[in-house]
Amino acid sequence: MTGIPTATISRLVTYLRILEGLEAQDVSRTSSGDLAERAGVTAFQVRKDLAYFGRFGTRGMGYTVPILKRELLRVLGLNQTWNVVIVGLGRLGQAIANYPGASDYQFQYVGLFDVNPELIGQNVRGLPVRHVDELREFTRTTRVDMGFLAVPPERAQDAAQSLADAGVRGILNFAPTVIQPRTLERSGQQEISDEWRAVIVENVDFLAGMKRLAFYILNPHLSTVDTEETE
């Protein structure tokens, strides 16, 4: 399984959401055409995206909603529990901690961290806010799969380093900044330092969303179809 476009993974998440909507309406069957229309892509794109992961439908019969949903949950790794810490409990971090829906997918907040003395010791959604310096110690006793970074942009790189140092493998970065893995010089070459080798960074950046939106308002003819497959 190599060579899967990142846009395919984003679309799988969209298909999953559509399937959940269909299931909530007691719709038991769907088709690539139906999914495509609801997702705003072509039926060809839907079939191509799903084909990376196996055969989920029957030719001419479409898909069984609960089966395709279960398979997408499995593909996306949402059939297991993910332990999450939030770093940064300002307005955004608190909005994230309190956002409904995360727990539907077995994402479970296990720790909250900040550097602001006014926040440390406070309870947010039943968890105490701890100092970031305690993160490493915390991960010795508690399994942490992901860290959500909701700190100001100028703090993001340091906070990401704390997560990497603590052995956290996934970082969801909400700050409008590009996280760089630390590099070391080894035999005259810059190499990614050990603690970053297994770390995945994904970005959820609403300033980036605003900019994409500005572009597509000015260039609406470019937004109707994802042209990726024509390359």
From 11-19, 59-67, 124-132, 134-142, give the range in contact with its own copies by CB under 8 A: 11-19
Instruction: Name the minimum Å distance from CB 7 to its own copies.
Output: 5
Tokens of 64: 């069984």
Is 88 among the annotated ligand-binding positions? yes
| Identity of the residue, 133 or 216, whose beta carbon is nearer to its own copies in the bound complex | 216
CA pair distance 22, 58, nearest whole angstrom: 19
Nearer to its own copies, 115 or 204 (CB): 204
The answer to whether the CB of 110 falls within 8 A of the CB of 85 is yes
Window 183 to 202, contacts with its own copies (CB under 8 A):
198, 200, 202
Please tell me whether 91 is known to bind a ligand.
yes
Nearest-angstrom CA–CA distance, 48 and 224: 18
Which residues 6+ apart lie within 8 Å of 102 measured at CB? 84, 109
Exactly one of 27, 51, 67, 210 binds its own copies (CB under 8 A); that residue is 210
Which residue stretch of 8-16, 25-33, 120-128, 132-140 sits at the interface with its own copies (rule: CB under 8 A)? 8-16
By the rule CB under 8 A, 152 interacts with its own copies: yes
x/- map, 17-36, its own copies, by CB under 8 A: xx--x---------------
How many H-runs (helices) and E-runs (strands) does the chain carry? 8, 11
CB-nearer residue toward its own copies: 24 or 61: 24
Answer for the pair 175, 157: CB distance below 8 angstroms, yes or no: no
Tokens representing 216 are: 């597509």
Within 80-226, residue ranges assigned H as helices are 91-97, 135-141, 153-165, 206-218
Range 76-115, binding its own copies (CB under 8 A): 76-78, 82, 84, 90-92, 94-96, 98-102, 105, 107
Q: Does 204 bind its own copies (CB under 8 A)?
A: yes
Q: How far apart are CA 21 and CA 35, in angstroms?
A: 11
Smaller CB separation from its own copies, 12 or 132: 12
Angle at 146 between CA 143 and CA 147, to 5 degrees: 110
Q: Residue 92, annotated ligand binder? A: yes
Question: Residues within the annotated binding site for NAD(+)?
Answer: 88-93
